[in-house]
Amino acid sequence: MKKIVLVYSGGLDTSVCIPLMREEYGFDHVITVTVDVGQPADDILLAEERAVRLGTEHYTVDAKEMFVEHFCWPAVRANGDYQGYPISTSIARPLIALKAVEKAKELGVNAFGHGCTGKGNDQFRLEYIMRTLMPDAEIIAPMREGRLLSNGSREPWTRSEEIEYANAHGLDIAHTKDKIWSVDENLWGRSIEGGRLEEPDYAPPEEIFHWTRGLNDCPDAPRTLQIGFENGVPVSLDGKRLSALDLVLELNKVAGEHGVGRIDIMEDRILGLKVRENYECPAAVVIVAAHRALEALVCTAGELKFKSTVDREWGELAYKGLWLDPLREDLEAFINRVQHRVTGTVIMRLAKGSAIVVGRSSEAALYNEDLASFDSKTFNQAESLGIVKTHGMQSKLYWQLRQQGKILGGSRDEPMSIRGATEKSSDA
């Protein structure tokens, strides 16, 4: 019997894959694996019911706690960001692939299927894990490979054709050609794309947002809350210690009520395509902002400068799904070393879509109020004169030589304010 493990969400793409695996690829036995990383409970139930109705051998794997502890929290420590939004979908895909590989090995299956298109990022993220851990496995991607034509060739699927195929096979998929929203959801974020959202100048309709309130529906009174951190990750809200999972869920709810976490961005995919994406990341936006504020309090200027580079590299790797790359471990060696001091409390104010840091404290703070205060006489300000005189010494010497005509001047495109102060007019 020819078997395949299908990474299954229960949505349009992966549901269409089930009959395709049988009809076009010759797999007698389809095993569906749904990995729960925080999707709505109704979606998990729907996937289970649909998988059974479509005659698959189905497994649901609860990976919510593992997702927070081993994927979301590393993202917090690294201020995980890609082009202006907290990465969420990208850090869930390696875990989903890992669980699919575990199930395939357990059942002795050496073939995988997924519903990723040939334009998206997820094909890279899922297959990287599969090909690394099971290099000899066969991987089938019907949406990427295209639909089979009568002459034996293949052509790319369109979303409308998928819907027609689903309807013809009685798949009971709740998509329409007018509202073709493609939604991915996990504990750390919710992404929405497709349909008219692909138009960069189209204002997203309120109906696409499920986690966050619109500005008109937000409470008028701001909400102030305290987030307690230990070793770079949040452990409490308003003084109440919570599990990692409960903390994220609670903060998603609270921040979402105040409209925090909506992001509309033009994103550069791995293939180089520019796409328009909408995100809802209430907890992630608040936690990462608080984490940055705490790092700024306890880290040296040099650490912060270097860590910004490390964080950016970490975010790029995570976005591409390269979770097993040794560079990630190398970067995290530095990141985690710094996090030993990132312990303290951050006060956030949530109001009408904004999350603003209004206070922070830590026993490891490198801030000294007595030294910094203008009202303090502890620091003898007159002692600054010597170092101020030597500040920028080499550049001052350069300008002296230039004014003396001993070196060639700069571009004529320099700002007039600079050129006029340093060079004689050509008309003189």
Q: What count of residues does the chain have?
A: 428
- The residues near 39 (Cβ < 8 Å, ≥ 6 apart) are 9, 185, 186
Instruction: Give the count of beta carbons closer than 10 Å to the beta carbon of residue 95.
Output: 20
Phi, psi of 366, deg, nearest 5: -95, 15
- Of 46, 9, 4, 8, the closest CA to residue 24 belongs to 4
**Annotated active-site residue in 9, 88, 182, 362:** 182
Residue that is written with structure tokens 């699927």 in the block? 157
Beta strands in 25-157 (DSSP E): 29-36, 57-62, 81-82, 85-86, 111-113, 138-140, 147-148, 154-155
**Whole-number Å distance between alpha carbons of 421 and 417:** 6
**Annotated active-site residue in 50, 77, 93, 292:** 93
- The residues near 275 (Cβ < 8 Å, ≥ 6 apart) are 193, 198, 266, 267, 269
**CB environment 38-52: b (16+ within 10 A), e (fewer):** bbeeebbebbbebbe
> Which secondary structure element, helix H or strand E, spans residue 167, and what is its range?
helix 159-168
362 is known as an active-site residue:
no
Residue 411 C-beta-side C-alpha neighbours within 13 Å: 3
- At residue 264, the 3 state secondary structure works out as strand
Structure tokens at 56: 């698959």
**Whole-number Å distance between alpha carbons of 415 and 396:** 18
**Annotated active-site residue in 13, 81, 184, 311:** 13
Alpha carbon distance, N-terminus to C-terminus of the chain: 92
**Annotated active-site residue in 9, 36, 77, 122:** 122
Residue that is written with structure tokens 């959801």 in the block? 185
182 is known as an active-site residue:
yes
122 is known as an active-site residue:
yes
Structure tokens at 210: 């499920």
**CA angle, corner 284, sides to 278 and 289, nearest 5?**
110
**Whole-number Å distance between alpha carbons of 334 and 343:** 17
**Whole-number Å distance between alpha carbons of 149 and 24:** 11
Phi, psi of 66, deg, nearest 5: -65, -40
93 is known as an active-site residue:
yes
Instruction: List the catalytic residues.
Output: 13, 93, 122, 182
